[in-house]
């Protein structure tokens, strides 16, 4: 029974950490990160592709900036919610696991995090 609880805890942690890692990925490949996809760049692209007038360009840039700001705020709120969820889960783990088990769990989490970092570095190096 204890083994099932520990295994379940490890699996839930792995899922949580993977979802956090995905939420925190950086790099210009993400459509809303990096200078390539700034509201100004989006507007320039639209101006060129859609032959916008100067008046339209100004209005479109305002719209692009508005929604860029909203996306950033939503992303930040999501990160806060994920952290709160992780903290809540950790408290529950601490109430079920003994000190050694919890220490082991934290070590495994750190190990998985390091492996993800390394894999990310390797992927980044091969995409050049």
Q: Which two tokens stand for residue 117?
A: 């970092």
Q: Is 42 exposed, middle or buried (0-12, 13-18, 19+ CB in 10 A)?
A: buried
Judged by average pLDDT, the poorest of 39-48, 91-100, 117-126 is 117-126
Is 43 within 8 Å of 60 (Cβ atoms)? yes
pTM for this structure?
0.54
Question: What does the pLDDT read at residue 40?
Answer: 94
Digit-coded pLDDT (tens) for 65-108: 999 999 999 999 999 999 999 999 999 999 999 999 999 999 99
Phi then psi for residue 2, to 5 deg, are -60, -40
pLDDT score at 37: 77
112 in Cβ contact with 14 (< 8 Å): yes
Residue 87 CA to residue 54 CA, distance in Å, equals 50
Q: What are phi and psi of 4, to 5 degrees?
A: -65, -40
């Amino acid at each position: 029974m204890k083994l099932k609880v520990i295994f379940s805890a490890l699996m839930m942690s792995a899922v949580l950490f993977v979802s956090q890692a995905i939420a925190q990925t950086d790099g210009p490949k993400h459509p809303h990160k990096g200078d390539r996809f700034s509201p100004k760049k989006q507007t320039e692209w639209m101006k060129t592709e859609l032959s916008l007038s100067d008046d339209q360009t100004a209005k479109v840039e305002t719209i692009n900036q508005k929604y860029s700001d909203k996306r950033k705020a939503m992303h930040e709120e999501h990160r806060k919610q994920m952290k709160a969820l992780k903290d809540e889960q950790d408290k529950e783990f601490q109430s079920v696991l003994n000190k050694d088990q919890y220490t082991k769990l934290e070590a495994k989490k750190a190990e998985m995090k390091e492996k993800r970092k390394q894999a990310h570095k390797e992927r980044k190096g091969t995409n050049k």
